[in-house]
Amino acid sequence: MLSQQLVNGIVLGSTYALIALGYTMVYGIIELINFAHGEIYMFGAFVAMLLVTIYKVPFLLSLLVAMALSSLLGVTIEFLAYRPLRRAPRLAALISAIGASIFLQNLALFIMGPRPYNFPSPFERRVFNLEIFAISQIELYILLISFFLMLGLHFLIMKTKLGKAMRATAQDKDTAALMGINIDKVISATFLIGSAFGAASGVMIGVYFRSVSPTMGLMPGLKGFVAAVLGGIGNIPGAMLGGLLLGVAETMGAAYLSSQYRDAVAFAILIVVLILKPSGLLGKMVQDKV
Amino acid sequence: MDNNNMILQTIKVSKYFGGLKALDSVDLFIRKGEIFGLIGPNGAGKTTFFNLLTGHYQPSQGEIVFKNKEIKGLKPYEITALGIARTFQNIRLFNEMTVLENVLIGMHCQTKTGLWGSILRSPAATSEEKMAREKCKELLAFVGLDGKSEEKARNLAYGEQRRLEIARALATQPQLLLLDEPAAGMNPQETNNLMDLIYRIRDKGDTILLIEHDMKLVMGISERVAVLDYGQKISEGTPREVQKDERVIKAYLGEEI
Amino acid sequence: MLSSYHVQIIILSGINVIMAASLNLITGYTGQLSIGHAAFMSIGAYASGLATLLLGFPFYLSLFIGALVASAFGVLLGLPTLKLKGDYLAIVTLGFCEIVRIVILNMDITGGAVGLRGLPKETDLLTVVVCVIITLLVLTRILHSRVGHALIAIREDETAAEGMGINTTYYKVIAFGVGAFFAGLGGGLFSHFFRYIHPNSFDFMRSIEQLCMVVLGGLGNLWGSVVGAVALTAIPELLRASADYRQLFYGALLIIMMRVRPEGLLGTRSEGFGIKSKFFRYSGWKKKGEA
């Protein structure tokens, strides 16, 4: 029973981790909570669902198309709502991000209506029954896809020129610009990758729970952010760790405490962690410059 | 040294940032009523030293004694209440507030009106306010900013902002005033006025610890000077003694002092 | 004279003025972004509602109890979390709002997911007007005092404020305590007007709506909050816009305001009320050239 909950938690947690990565990358570079990230997750899920149900596109291809289109949406949001405010007070950009989130969610409500859509699962209902736990085919897919995406991201950040530029920009925008790095391009790339990851998470959750709706991004979006903060915002391994921890804690909380309080668990953990370690689990303490 | 005559003493104070030793076992004592200069090349740890005194940073090692009381571990606001006030190297005024209001905030520790007093506008609160405003106007006149009291702080000229920071610090009624590069960016005329102001503050009975790069100012005004280099105190004494010290000359790489 | 429909709009506007003004104290004046203000409204609504229903308290006492309980929660939230800065604090207020909603949703005494029913309709036009005036009067007085100046100093430069001897944590807790008190008052008026409350009436979107009012009128401008709250309550009502359109509009409004006029309609700074009424006028710390 415990091992089963652990596996369920890890599956859920890996989708949180994917969302958290989007938040943490954007925050690492422009210090903004991209509130619209949850809506990108929702958008990705809708694109894949429509492709699969209406155009009968194979699932994996739908996933890729959804990630690509969501990337474009993410970059567009940055361009329209955040870029003009880059030199404005942080509060202004944050409020603009909240505005973008509300706008997109309600646009989806307006176009698609409030009722959830069925996302037919392309996977067989096969369950692999191992000794200590069972795992379904789709859960296995979620774990695999998440794993390879994160591995790819790690490679990109550590080994490529773009990754180096991103790390440099995260440390010091002005100096990076002086070194000839095109900051605008780096920021766009960050939104591109973060949005693709968010969309991947949305598609997988959509198909896992067989349901897609305009408001589906709200809670996972918030929890993805909680996961990012938990691990130490701006810290990429921290986001992965935070996501997994949150997924496990939530599943355990629902199983052993009370399922009604499932959503409250995430926020309670967040508040406790922030009080004890304000910079998150893997975050560094930054001393204010006087 | 005579304990009664001493206002501040640091004993082997160190501050590390990760592996970097920003300050390394600095011993310093400052006598009541003196003007003490703290100099050193950029990055020598002078501002870090100030931040330790005011509680913005906590020392990694060592003790800080102010008026015979250990102040390590106290919060900045508690240290201000005890009688240490400062100005900031990169002017930190409350930009959207008026000149007068900036000084009024300096009066925070000297006034008592709480939430209920302000909601009910009790007679005590009203009279305290009146008193505070009068006091602030006096201070503004003292630093030569009378007539500017209703201007927004951000609209003041640079030299005026420096003087407003001093007025705001004085409003906390400090016994020890820390000035972090008060003459930076001032022209010779303004610097002369500043020297005069510092003397007048001292004559009121305050002790002044001053970081300054303008050697003419710091050597002209200080009774004693200490030199920091790479976080260590390399020299201390009267301006004349320090100027002759070879380690100091070396630290400044032949810079005229 | 006034149709009951118009009275309803005025009452709703009044409640929102209280909500926006109290949020402005926290976010606009003290600079602590809160995106969970509806939590305090919810606590006030439920606490006062239960005081009326279960304890049989008279209306005004229930209102006061609701505000007091909300204020206590404001202080409770403030004490441990106000060391957090900016975005972290914002996300904690959001989390707090969600926790409050979920807890009320799962409690028996609050009626859980069914909501709290059968409250007497006590809130009338006069009560709301009086409450609005008290709120604005108290907030103005605080803002023009030593306490208010400490709050604004924290917004302007927290490090410098501490250097001036201001115990920043204490004053942030005061801001949250007072802000939550009036939010609780607004909640009590709300529950005794609609006679029925549900936890989901006080969700994240409600908090955002209140933030919109503050931002529209101008952060750090109390009079602006009045204008913002009335505008965002009355205009959609009078246009009879449906709830969907309204939120679409809020989203766009926030983005556009931040680009075009981030200081809000009435600009950022002015603790005074433009009106020269004796009621609002303040003897001390007058400022030149204020709107």
Has residue B89 been placed in a domain? Answer: no
Mean pLDDT of C253-277: 63
Q: What is the pLDDT of residue A285?
A: 56
Same domain? B212 vs B165 = no
Say if CB C179 and CB B115 are below 8 A apart.
no
Output DSSP code: residue A259.
G
Same domain? B75 vs B178 = yes
At A146, which amino acid appears?
A: S
pLDDT in tens, A101-126: 989 999 999 899 889 999 988 777 77
Q: With 80 as the cut, is the pLDDT of residue B149 above it?
A: yes
Q: With 90 as the cut, is the pLDDT of residue B257 above it?
A: no
pLDDT in tens, A148-188: 999 999 899 889 999 999 988 888 888 888 888 888 999 99
Cβ pair B118:C146 closer than 8 A? yes
Has residue A285 been placed in a domain? Answer: no
Q: With 60 as the cut, is the pLDDT of residue C289 above it?
A: no
Same domain? B180 vs B79 = yes
Query: Which chains are adjacent to chain C, needing at least 3 Cβ pairs under 8 Å?
Result: A, B
Given phi > 0 = left and psi -120 to 50 = alpha, else beta, which region is C219? beta
Mean pLDDT of A47-61: 93
On whether any CB of chain B is under 8 Å from the CB of C156, the answer is yes
Say if CB C91 and CB A229 are below 8 A apart.
yes
CATH at residue B30? 3.40.50.300
pLDDT over 90 for what percent of chain C?
Answer: 59
pLDDT in tens, C224-262: 999 999 998 887 777 666 666 777 887 888 888 888 877
Same domain? B55 vs B161 = no
Angstrom distance (rounded) from CA A62 to CA A44: 10
Same domain? B52 vs B71 = yes
Which residues span the domain enclosing B142?
94-172
**Which of B78, B103, B108 has the most C C-beta neighbours within 10 Å, making it the best mutation to test the interface with C?**
B108
Q: With 80 as the cut, is the pLDDT of residue A20 above it?
A: yes
Q: Which of residues 67-126 of B touch A (CB under 8 A)?
A: 88
Per mean pLDDT, which of A77-86, A140-149, C65-74, C89-98 is the most reliable? C65-74
Has residue A281 been placed in a domain? Answer: no
CB-based contacts of A88, cutoff 8 Å, min separation 6: C258, C262
> Strand, helix or coil at C242?
coil
Higher pLDDT, A139 or A288: A139
Has residue B167 been placed in a domain? Answer: yes
User: Which of B172, B190, B214 is where one domain is finished?
Assistant: B172
Same domain? B134 vs B254 = no
Angstrom distance (rounded) from CA A10 to CA B42: 51
CB-based contacts of C181, cutoff 8 Å, min separation 6: C22, C67, C68, C70, C71, C74
Residues of B in contact with A287 (CB under 8 A): 17, 57
> For chain B, what is the domain count?
2
Has residue B88 been placed in a domain? Answer: no
Work out the pLDDT band at A287, boundaries 50, 70, 90.
Answer: low
CATH at residue A51? 1.10.3470
Has residue A37 been placed in a domain? Answer: yes
Residues of B in contact with C145 (CB under 8 A): 113, 117-118, 125, 129
Q: What is the pLDDT of residue A87?
A: 79
Q: What is the pLDDT of residue B35?
A: 95
Q: What is the pLDDT of residue B3?
A: 60
Query: Which chains are adjacent to chain B, needing at least 3 Cβ pairs under 8 Å?
Result: A, C
Has residue A282 been placed in a domain? Answer: no
Q: What is the pLDDT of residue A233?
A: 82
pLDDT in tens, C61-91: 999 999 999 999 999 888 877 777 777 888 8
Which residues span the domain enclosing A236?
2-276
> For chain A, what is the domain count?
1
Residues of C in contact with A280 (CB under 8 A): none
Q: What is the pLDDT of residue C275?
A: 31
Same domain? B76 vs B192 = yes
Angstrom distance (rounded) from CA B109 to CA B75: 14
Angstrom distance (rounded) from CA C93 to CA B149: 38
Q: What is the pLDDT of residue B214?
A: 85
Mean of the per-residue pLDDT values of chain B: 90
Mean pLDDT of C279-286: 31
Q: What is the pLDDT of residue B143?
A: 94
Same domain? B76 vs B181 = yes
User: Which of B172, B198, B222 is where one domain is finished?
Assistant: B172
User: Which of B118, B142, B172 is where one domain is finished?
Assistant: B172
Has residue B180 been placed in a domain? Answer: yes
What DSSP letter does each residue of C52-73 carry, written as one string? HHTT---HHHHHHHHHHHHHHH
C160: closest chain B residue by CA: B92
Work out the pLDDT band at B59, boundaries 50, 70, 90.
Answer: very high
Maximal CA-CA distance, chain C? 57
Angstrom distance (rounded) from CA A197 to CA A219: 17
Mean pLDDT of B178-192: 90
Q: What is the pLDDT of residue C276?
A: 30
pLDDT in tens, B95-104: 888 999 999 9
Same domain? B192 vs B249 = yes
Give the pair of three-digit tokens for residue B25: 């076992």
Q: What is the pLDDT of residue A122?
A: 78
Domain boundaries, chain C: 4-203
Q: With 50 as the cut, is the pLDDT of residue C272 above it?
A: no
Same domain? B184 vs B214 = yes
Which contiguous run of DSSP H or E holds residue A134? strand A134-136
pLDDT over 70 for what percent of chain C?
Answer: 89
For chain A, give percent helix, strand, coil, nearest 5.
75, 5, 20
Lowest mean pLDDT among A29-38, A96-105, A254-263, B80-89: A254-263
Q: How many CB atoms lie within 10 A of CB A97?
A: 25
Give the pair of three-digit tokens for residue B119: 């909601």
**β partners of residue B225:** B37, B237
Q: What is the pLDDT of residue C285?
A: 32
Tokens 């640091």, located at residue:
B10
Has residue A286 been placed in a domain? Answer: no
Same domain? B99 vs B198 = no
Q: With 60 as the cut, is the pLDDT of residue C284 above it?
A: no
